[in-house]
Structure 1
């Protein structure tokens, strides 16, 4: 589904009114924002474009020329045909035979011949003026008023507005039919721009390497779940590729023409949650920036909102998020105006949210809102056939990035057996890091020197013997027991537990999150017995 083309109209009163009259004819195809503005050399429209994210901009005359020269978004200019000029002059002649015509022209065009011929064809005293900038249009009009006393003005919207401010009748040069044709062309240009962006994204997003049946199944479900508006919950250990799958779902969704806005729920401070997600207006609080700020949810409007690490969101913020997701409306901090939002929702977690719901750490209503479709990403150790394919891809990527003349096929052969034996606690992200380390270390030494001794220096994690692993297991068990004992001692008060153990509460939460199922059950038991 292509969706409605987003058109930003930049112009002055009569032009804006003309476009607005025609919009009902195109309601199914376009989403239009009209901004009344006159471009000057000091005008910066980049913030306006960032806010509205148009597929195409529509303007007229010197405005359109300035916008086309300063922005990368396609800009269409309102055309003026000879028929438009004749119709406008016919209306002006009913007011007075002394008519002054103003046109934008960087160089002489076909209409110059028309203006030269008209006085000979009709009872009209015609004076033609041309300009190339808004300030020049203003100056030219003022000089004409001072020297020639025009009785009626024919011209673009800005000139008509200036004339009417001085009590001079004015006729807009643009016709409905020309404006209607321009809107049709704008829709075509907007769709072409969207298709080009989608193709570019498709080329850039082919980074998710799939070789195993498990991941082929995940990819197949992702393609299915991408359809429609239903939320998708991604579950998997850290580094399994949840963000890659989120990008693929976005790329294949009905919302692919909009942005993908990723939000790390664990990194937003409680006190900034509403201003970050919902935005704020100017003056909402002491440190608010001039002009306010568009919230992340509004930025995702028309696209995809990706809530990463959703399990880390505190309960008090879960309520606010749930309300916004249910109502599909947000209210920026300090504003009394609600904004409708529409986006594809994807959430990701490395936790078991069902257990979190049972433990009272995650709201069940928010969980059900997020869990329409669930995709479970298996850890890398459970799909060993993916390891060589992913390693081959990243070795090639980093060899190109670092301009390393290394035989990546031979390099992979030297590490493949060790890679297959490794447990990959960091999953794909860790494999990616290993590939980069290998390539960088090949920059200053020949491939023949990358033997097991060298690999032990470059990737020491690969060569931890069983004793080392057993020792780590013992230390982990001792750490978990110390946390359990402290929880019993301080009746589950995590701040006191953290102080007693000499760690931060954030570190304590991280340790609790990474405990195994049995250890977590022991924690729940310890806390309940202490109450």
Structure 2
């Protein structure tokens, strides 16, 4: 089963902070663990890899090079673009005309020719230090301090940290755009690694499991709707498997030879919408990268475009998307030519889009464009007969992944009555998490098998008395459920949304409606 990609981030302070800021954009695709460390010959990361079992590791500079040379796990390095360097130097120039810049000696970094052109271009004096290891970077910084007491440093996270410890202002050279691109590449690399392991085990990785008449109907319709270029709209609560079915539709479609490009509509900032979807040409705006960028729609050309959480897209973005879908052509930002695109469109939402149209929150013309074929996925609580089969699949899967000898039948016999009584607010995603937790704890237990009390300790959610409040269906949520959850988690909206089985955006919208209702009642 291809699940969320496990990413291990190994970095230092500013780099870790940069990655951490971006994580909410990728929470549906990746499970990220951040470890602050400087890789060196004295550090053994094999235990760390064994503990977290990452599909891919991301780091930067000398850290990434060391990890790549010592570990079998794929390691991606944070890129440094020319635009990143220019933006960092512009910030440094405000502090001092003389700037010390530290770069890792790697072909993917800024070229010496580019660096040589910067003094005249940016009206500054540039002192360039190149290093191959963290120790070399430290030594270069100490020498620079001894020679002339630098007023500002531009460099990687480690060097910036060392400079700030000595009271020297420091500007990190990595940008959010380049870090965001690296996370996307890491997710792609992680999925490839997962697929390779599945093939090595002899698996045809399953996208979803059908073990009920309701889901057999959904699967049959998915196979039918996969043909041709007509769009498909998937509706259902969070965690019901919409992305898995989208991937299956792509696999069975006439566009199977092309890529599947997934877009989380709620995570794209309004100001970046056009450049993300349509791309841009070089020089389109101040921070545009050299050579421009291919948009997500053009990337999906010849394949499928999966628009997840389409119901969260603001109206201003809806009309731009509608125009592109109607014309089947796009114009990159800053460009003067149009590009024809042809792809299978699949959209997904945990909202009732017809209801959103009736309330004026979603454009009716875009709704009709998306809703040529409609698949509504029932929540897991309405197809509980599937729970044993899905649980068996995941227990076997995670037992193989973690290399744990799990007595599958014994574990399932123990948890089946508990599972049957549970309301499943998080649907299949929650069942997947439960089975992984069980398998891992089986691996830690001295006797491998678990007692009923041990299972309840591992899965305390099964004994929640108020689980019925967390139905996950927005239309079924009562105000008291949200209020109780907000009290339970001290107002932490991320935890409340996870507890209720809805997205943070949906929770925010619901809270706004509750505020309006309370105001009207008091009036």
Structure 1 runs (4+) greater than 3 angstroms displaced: 202-205, 446-449, 468-473, 475-482, 501-504, 506-509, 512-515, 522-531
User: 1:322 is matched with which residue?
Assistant: 322
State whether residues 493 and 507 of structure 2, in contact with CA within 8 Å, keep that contact through their aligned partners in structure 1: no
Pair 1:306-2:302 in alignment: no
Shift of 1:447: 5.0
Do the aligned partners of 1:351 and 1:513 also contact (CA within 8 Å) in 2?
A: no
User: CA distance change for structure 1 residues 478 and 286 in 2, over 3 Å: closer, same or farther?
Assistant: same
Deviation at 1:362, TM superposition (A): 0.5
Q: Could you give the per-residue CA deviations for residues 426-483 of structure 1, whole angstroms, max 9, x where no partner exists? A: 0000000001000000112145651122112210001123xx448989x96347689x
Give, in whole Å, the separation in 2 of the partners of 1:203 and 1:453. 34
| Cα separation, 1, equivalents of 2:253 and 2:459 | 39
CA contact (8 A) 2:218 2:375 kept: yes
1:477 aligns to what?
A: 479
Q: Cα gap change, 1:322/1:470 in structure 2, threshold over 3 Å: closer, same or farther?
A: closer
Is contact 2:406–2:449 with CA below 8 Å preserved after alignment?
no
**Partner in structure 1 of residue 351 of structure 2:** 351
Root mean square deviation of aligned Cα: 3.3
Cα distance in 2 for residues equivalent to 1:316 and 1:225:
29
Query: Aligned residue for 1:62?
Result: none
Match of 1:207 in 2: 207
Q: Structure 1, unaligned stretches of length 5 or more?
A: 1-196, 483-500
Q: CA deviation at 1:206?
A: 2.1
| 1:216 equivalent in structure 2 | 216
- Cross-structure match for 2:396: 396
1:414-493 alignment runs, 5 A limit:
414-446=414-446, 450-465=450-465, 468-469=466-467, 477-478=479-480
Q: Distance in 2 between matches of 1:291 and 1:274?
A: 17
Name the SS for the 1:301 alignment partner: coil
Deviation for aligned residue 1:511: 2.5
Structure 2 gap ranges (5+): 1-195, 472-476, 485-490, 498-502
> How far has the Cα of 1:385 moved from its partner?
1.0
> SS of 1:442's equivalent?
helix
8 Å Cα contact 2:297-2:341 kept in structure 1 = yes
The answer to whether the 8 A contact 1:205-1:248 is kept is no
Rounded Cα–Cα distance in structure 1 between residues aligned with 2:408 and 2:210 = 19
Change (3 A) 1:406 1:464: same
Q: Tell me the SS of whatever aligns to 2:443.
A: coil
Higher Cα radius of gyration: 1
* Contact 1:255-1:344 within 8 A present in 2 as well: yes
Query: CA, structure 1 residues 369+437, in 2 after alignment: closer, same or farther (shift >3 Å)?
Result: same
CA gap of 1:508–1:344, structure 2 versus 1, over 3 A, is closer
> Is 2:510 the partner of 1:511?
no
Cα distance in 1 for partners of 2:437, 2:327 equals: 47
- More displaced stretch, 449-458 vs 414-423: 449-458
Q: Please list the CA deviations of residues 391-448 of structure 1 after superposition, one character each: whole Å capped at 9, or x if unmatched.
A: 0001011000000111122211111110111110000000000010000001121456
Assess if the C-alpha contact under 8 Å between 1:418 and 1:462 holds in 2. Answer: yes
In the aligned structure 2, how far is the partner of 1:415 from the partner of 1:336? 61
Structure 1 residues 382 and 400 mapped into 2: Cα distance closer, same or farther (>3 Å)?
same
